[in-house]
Structure 1
Amino acid sequence: MDLGLTGRKAIVCASSHGLGRACATALAQAGTTVVLNGRDAAALAATAGALRDTGADVRMVAGDVGEERVQQALIEAADGQVDILVNNNGGPPLRDFRALDGEAIHAGVDANMVTPIRLVQKVIDGMIERRFGRIVCITSGSVKAPVPGLDLSSGARVGLTGFLAGVARQVAHANVTINFLLPGLFETRRLAGVHAFNAEANGMSVEQAEASARDRIPAKRFGDPREFGDACAFLCASSSGFMTGQSLLIDGGAYPGVL
């Protein structure tokens, strides 16, 4: 399926591993020039090399996306013309909410709410002028169904969703969309941490915690990051301009509600 993205330029934050890498891969396959980002320069280079081997135009900026200099470098790497922004950042470590001090709370909110908002502020006016823009924010399934231990992550990402949901309605007239992807349990490095936290909290082995988590998913498996990347690319497609301000939950049916 042609997504109409050939020649577009995309920034994908935190894209050397996991779901961010899956989104970058799907966008590269759709014909975009992709600017990768990650703190681990070696992992970032490996991801860039793998994508270039497929013939994709790939650029990269190593560093913490929360830093002003890194944000500016990402925009410059896209030649100052950002058509697609995929906001992504590592979530705070799983911990009991009682263990969170003020410094930890502020760091979590800064990484998972303030930083993506700042990036949107930097690129959105150019999108409006060019009458095309796709912004996808990777949040979490815990935005809809809070998970113990992810309280800080959930709170920051709910704040981001609420903030940008209003912005989405202000820019829709210019063919600029803002949507949210809410992952459930996917086969990524972070999933191992989830299993370890649940094992300790419930007095069981990591293997038992993993089996229990899988059993609670109606699909009876964890998500493949490639599925997530394809969903991201769909939201960025030229034909997806009438879908904005929406939160797309991808969790194998784990969330039991209808809304």
Structure 2
Amino acid sequence: MDLGIAGRTAVVCASTRGLGRACAEELARAGCTVVVNGREQAAADRAAAEISAATGAEVVPVGVDVGAPEGPERLLAAVPQVDILVNNNAGPPARDFRKVDEEALLAGVRANMATPIRLVQAVVDGMVERRFGRIVNITSGSVKMPLAGLDLSSGARAGLTGFLAGVARSVAHANVTINFLLPGSFATDRLASLQQRTAEQQGVSVEEVAANGRATIPARRFGEPAEFGAACAFLCSAQAGFVTGQSLLIDGGAYPGVL
């Protein structure tokens, strides 16, 4: 399906690997000019070259920590305008909530709530003026089904969802949409690190932890990043203009609820 976004400019945060990389690849494949972002310029350069070679798209690498004070401004300065924004950032490390001190708490909220909001504030008026905009925020399945040890990540991402829920309704008239993608267990480096931590804590092999994880998912497997990227690209498409303020859970059926 032609997504109708060829020639648009997309900024994808934290996109040198994992789910962000998958989103960047699909948007490039759809014909967008894509800004690829990572904390290290070398990683951004490498990802941009690989995506460009695979898709033929123009890909602009920007090495900057979007959570730094000047991060959002430096990222957005790479292109004249932004038609599509994909907010993404690594979550804080898993830990017992009793060990989350004030410094860690504020850092988690800054990375997973405040920084995405700053980026939305910077681009949304231009989108409204041009009568086209797509904003997708990658949060987590733990927003709907909290997981012990990921309390800070869940709380900050839930805060982002609540903050932008009203914003989404205020700009929908201008063909600007704001949605949320909630990944479950995907085959990424972050999942591997969590499995390694669990294996060490339980004194078992990583393979056993992975097998136990797959067994809790009705699909009996972990998600592939490409599947996530395709869902992101659709929410950014011209055809998705009537979808806004929604949280799309992609978890292979792991969440047991109906709402």
Q: TM-score range by the shorter chain?
A: over 0.9
TM-score, reference length from structure 1: 0.97
Structure 2 Cα separation of the partners of residues 68 and 58 of structure 1 = 24
Provide the residue aligned with 1:156 in structure 2: 156
Structure 2 spans left out of the alignment, 5+ residues: none
Provide the residue aligned with 2:88 in structure 1: 88
Partner amino acid for 1:181? L
Provide the residue aligned with 1:169 in structure 2: 169
> Match of 2:77, SS?
helix
Summarize deviations over 1:9-58 as a string: whole Å, max 9, x none: 00000000100000000000000000111012222111101112131111
Provide the residue aligned with 1:219 in structure 2: 219
Summarize deviations over 1:110-156 as a string: whole Å, max 9, x none: 00000000000000000000000000000000000001111000000
Summarize deviations over 1:172-206 as a string: whole Å, max 9, x none: 01100000000000011000122123334445332
How well do the aligned residues superpose, as a CA RMSD in angstroms? 1.1
Q: Does 1:135 align with 2:135?
A: yes
Residue pair 2:43, 2:63 contacting (<8 A) in 1 also: no
Provide the residue aligned with 1:59 in structure 2: 60
Provide the residue aligned with 2:180 in structure 1: 180
Summarize deviations over 1:201-225 as a string: whole Å, max 9, x none: 4453322111100111111111100
Structure 2 Cα separation of the partners of residues 145 and 204 of structure 1 = 25
What is the number of equivalent residue pairs in this alignment? Answer: 258
Structure 2 Cα separation of the partners of residues 84 and 226 of structure 1 = 19
Point out the more displaced range, 113-122 or 192-201. Answer: 192-201
Structure 2 Cα separation of the partners of residues 115 and 239 of structure 1 = 28
Q: For residues 63-82 of structure 1, what are the structure 2 equivalents within 5 Å? A: 63-79=64-80, 81-82=81-82
Residue pair 1:140, 1:157 contacting (<8 A) in 2 also: yes
Residue pair 1:168, 1:244 contacting (<8 A) in 2 also: yes
Structure 1 Cα separation of the partners of residues 229 and 13 of structure 2 = 13
Point out the more displaced range, 68-77 or 159-168. Answer: 68-77
Partner amino acid for 1:183? P
Structure 1 Cα separation of the partners of residues 7 and 159 of structure 2 = 33
Structure 1 Cα separation of the partners of residues 170 and 211 of structure 2 = 44
Residue pair 2:86, 2:135 contacting (<8 A) in 1 also: yes
Structure 2 Cα separation of the partners of residues 45 and 84 of structure 1 = 21
Structure 1 Cα separation of the partners of residues 98 and 207 of structure 2 = 27
Residue pair 1:10, 1:78 contacting (<8 A) in 2 also: no
Structure 1 spans left out of the alignment, 5+ residues: none
Q: Does 1:231 align with 2:231?
A: yes
Structure 2 Cα separation of the partners of residues 200 and 105 of structure 1 = 25
Point out the more displaced range, 64-73 or 105-114. Answer: 64-73
Aligned-pair CA distance for 1:63: 1.1
Structure 2 Cα separation of the partners of residues 66 and 207 of structure 1 = 34
Partner amino acid for 1:237? S
Structure 2 Cα separation of the partners of residues 143 and 198 of structure 1 = 21
Provide the residue aligned with 1:241 in structure 2: 241
Aligned-pair CA distance for 1:74: 2.2
Partner amino acid for 1:88? N
Provide the residue aligned with 1:4 in structure 2: 4
Provide the residue aligned with 2:256 in structure 1: 256
